[in-house]
Amino acid sequence: MRIALNARILQAPRTGIGHYLAELVSALRLEPDVELTLFHGWGWSAALPQAALPGYSRLTPLLRQIPGAYQARRWLEQKRFDQGRAHGIDLYHEPSLWPLAFDGPTVITLHDLTHLHFPDSQPAARIKEIERRLETGVQQARLILTDSQAIADEAQQHFGLPAERFVVAPLGVAERFYPREASAIDAVLKAHGVEARQYFLCVGTLEPRKNLSLALRAHALLPQALRERFPLLIVGMAGWQREQLSDELRQALASGHVCLLGYLPDEDVAQLLAGARALIFPSRYEGFGLPVLEAMASGTPVVVTRSSAMPEVAGAAGNYIDADDAQGLRDAMSLLIDDQTHWQECRAAGLEQARLFSWQRCAQATAGAYRQAMGG
């Protein structure tokens, strides 16, 4: 099977979908009957980019200011994509929203329905484009991949589609996420002013849906001595409407007990996950919640909300809270500090839960969807 995979999102800094695509491509190349060709927006290549293309972050704000720029770029991309027929493509896989037009079998990945639940979590122009294109893309697809059963169930109901149109392909764990000795991560931890198991960690784009404000409020409720011993580190790039966090975040940073690290290299994030007392992941809605899985695979307990797909990922290993319960999150953090037996049990349960997920299993489910979509 010669598969066209739209890899244009890899031009952006790697966040959830970018990591998904990069890992999936590597794992799919182990499938004997899958031959990938990657579309990069302006042309085709077999190579997977290792980093964001220079200038992406400067170009995107510029396009927002030019009337019709997105539509013009889309038209040009479609023209370039149409040339892929010369490569003998059998099936087109769109790993994000808005598939391009293709007259053969199409598979799309629907990671979540954030635009329905949190329309204010993204720019209005983007929401408008999603609403305009997603319905067409879903109907165009022979099969729809989802990262979790929760999203498959939600999408079936929303779009009025039968269950057989969906294939659940849970995400996996990259090789860089594994338990590490404190001595192996000491340099990175010292660079950020912390010691192994002596800090809490949040990982995710700074935007309202990620509910970072809950983590800030809960951490502030800890006694001062504990806040000093166990600071809160935040890793993530700035996202939409991050200004909603400005005052709260500014006060937290001024306290000296919260540190905003910004967007970090992948290996630094992996080492920070392996050294944290716990990952705090209070998101209100996730199609999967990849940092939760990565933390568990690193031997780090997780505190998560009960919403959307996160119980599927964390399973019995999760310390569950409600998305508006700062006191409950504070209590969960305190327990992970004070009760070493509980901490060790969470660590062991997380490692066991993480073994249920792998990128190869995700790739096998994806390749199976390709075969099914092609009638095999």
CATH of 182-354, one of 3.40.50.2000, 3.40.50.720, 3.30.470.20, 2.40.110.10: 3.40.50.2000
Cα separation, 161 vs 201, in Å, equals: 39
Write down the pLDDT at residue 103.
87
Please say if the pLDDT value at position 52 is more than 70: no
Please say if the pLDDT value at position 153 is more than 50: yes
Give mean pLDDT, residues 13-36. Answer: 90
Residue of higher predicted confidence among 365 and 60: 365
The CA radius of gyration of the chain, in Å to the nearest whole number, is 21
Cα separation, 134 vs 127, in Å, equals: 10
Cα separation, 245 vs 236, in Å, equals: 13
Write down the pLDDT at residue 312.
97
Write down the pLDDT at residue 85.
65
Amino acid at 39: F
Residue of higher predicted confidence among 93 and 62: 93
Amino acid at 7: A
Write down the pLDDT at residue 41.
80
Spatial strand order of the sheet with 143-146 comes to 44-45, 35-39, 2-6, 91-94, 106-109, 143-146, 166-168
Write down the pLDDT at residue 237.
80
Residue of higher predicted confidence among 241 and 193: 193
Give residue-wise pLDDT tens across range 138-149: 988 999 999 999
- Kindly give the residue spans of alpha helices, DSSP state H, lying in the chain: 16-28, 56-65, 69-82, 114-117, 124-140, 149-159, 182-191, 212-221, 224-229, 246-255, 266-275, 290-297, 310-314, 326-338, 340-354, 359-373
Cα separation, 289 vs 315, in Å, equals: 12
Write down the pLDDT at residue 285.
95
Give residue-wise pLDDT tens across range 221-247: 999 999 999 999 999 887 554 455 567
Q: What percent of the chain has pLDDT over 90?
A: 65
Please say if the pLDDT value at position 127 is more than 90: no
> Whole-number mean pLDDT of the chain?
89
Which range of 14-18, 72-76, 84-88, 153-157 scores highest in mean pLDDT? It is: 153-157
Which class in CATH covers the domain with range 2-172+358-373?
Answer: alpha beta
Write down the pLDDT at residue 339.
98
Domain 2-172+358-373 matches domain 182-354 at the CATH topology level: yes
Write down the pLDDT at residue 58.
45
Please say if the pLDDT value at position 56 is more than 70: no
Poorest-confidence range of 133-137, 150-154, 297-301?
A: 133-137
Angle, CA 53 vertex, CA 50 and CA 57 arms, to 5° = 130
Query: Would you list the DSSP string of 202-271?
Result: EES-BSGGG-HHHHHHHHHHS-HHHHHHS-EEEE--B-TTGGGGHHHHHHHHHHTSEEEEES--HHHHHH
Please say if the pLDDT value at position 354 is more than 80: yes
Give mean pLDDT, residues 184-197. Answer: 97
Give residue-wise pLDDT tens across range 255-291: 889 999 998 999 999 999 999 999 999 999 999 999 9
**What are the structural domain ranges in the chain?**
2-172+358-373, 182-354
